[in-house]
Structure 1
């Protein structure tokens, strides 16, 4: 399985109504259970200090930031919420880097999206996508999927985040 994310988290596959942000493409019709420690991330949950869509450098136009692109997920022996925890030893093609949302006035909720795709045999980042995966800025996930031969995501989930929001206390340590 190929997991695209913006965070390092325990992920599980569950058959529930999926959530991705309104207008986000690609969408999935099954929810990816995501846990930070023992905290379950319900689709659309507002938390502190994380992001995916941020103003581009020198611009007020919003763009997409790739926080992680990990592959080779397999079901582990641990069961949580009735499903197997997916694990990987992979640190790439794009290793995880932590969030650091900028302070904004007015505050703007950022979407932090988790997608789980079926991984094709011999998956590799296509040459047409290597520079954007390396830079992590402005990735067009629909184009990446087409270039990489990925089908629609099997599972998805997301969080909403704005800098300085303390909606869930304790999670902020995970994002600093």
Structure 2
């Protein structure tokens, strides 16, 4: 799996440090790591929150299905489900800052869609500090179009991290769905 190192790092963050769990609200669900979310409830982009290191910083989220097409046969995975740069934190009176998008997507969000008969897939979200010189227009599909499926399959998160100079994963979270 091309994203194996980043996935292992993110899952380790979640397991070993509760402060590194990305706030993820999917539909009406405040996601606990590994929680099952019906796919009908997860067709819109999640709302994100986190105790970011700097409220003046800009952040980016990447979402992957790490179990495609089947958890026991991941030949197409991971599949890219979302790249949203330009996340600016809005301080909250009662918890972590809410991260709101201020820039167009690089890869539009697509909700869960495992094939019929599949066990639930894991949809994992990685939060990064966005590099200062990042230009999303360089990577986004022209004209604000949605990213095609061909560019989503066997997504190499490690190559993306290296290409744009992403630092370490700040936080992550995941849900399961089928």
What is the aligned partner in structure 1 of residue 51 from structure 2? none
TM-score, length-scaled by structure 1: 0.63
What is the aligned partner in structure 1 of residue 57 from structure 2? none
**Bigger shift: 81-90 or 45-54?**
45-54
How far is the alpha carbon of 1:68 from its aligned partner?
Answer: 1.1
1:54 maps to 2:75:
no
How big is the alpha-carbon RMSD for the aligned residues of Structure 1 and Structure 2? Answer: 3.4
Unmatched runs of 5 consecutive residues or more in structure 2 = 43-63, 142-146
Unmatched runs of 5 consecutive residues or more in structure 1 = 1-20, 164-176
What is the aligned partner in structure 2 of residue 156 from structure 1? 172
Distance in 2 of aligned mates of 1:152 and 1:113 = 15
How far is the alpha carbon of 1:62 from its aligned partner?
Answer: 4.4
Q: SS of 1:94's equivalent?
A: coil
What is the aligned partner in structure 2 of residue 143 from structure 1? 159
What is the aligned partner in structure 2 of residue 108 from structure 1? 119
Q: How does 1:1-176 map to 2 (within 5 A)?
A: 24-27=7-10, 28=13, 29=17, 30-49=20-39, 52=65, 53-55=67-69, 61-77=75-91, 79=92, 82-104=95-117, 107-124=118-135, 135-161=151-177, 163=178
Q: SS of 1:25's equivalent?
A: helix
Q: SS of 2:158's equivalent?
A: helix
Distance in 1 of aligned mates of 2:106 and 2:122 = 22
* Pairs aligned (count): 135
TM-score, length-scaled by structure 2: 0.62
| Structure in which a larger fraction of residues adopt helix | 2
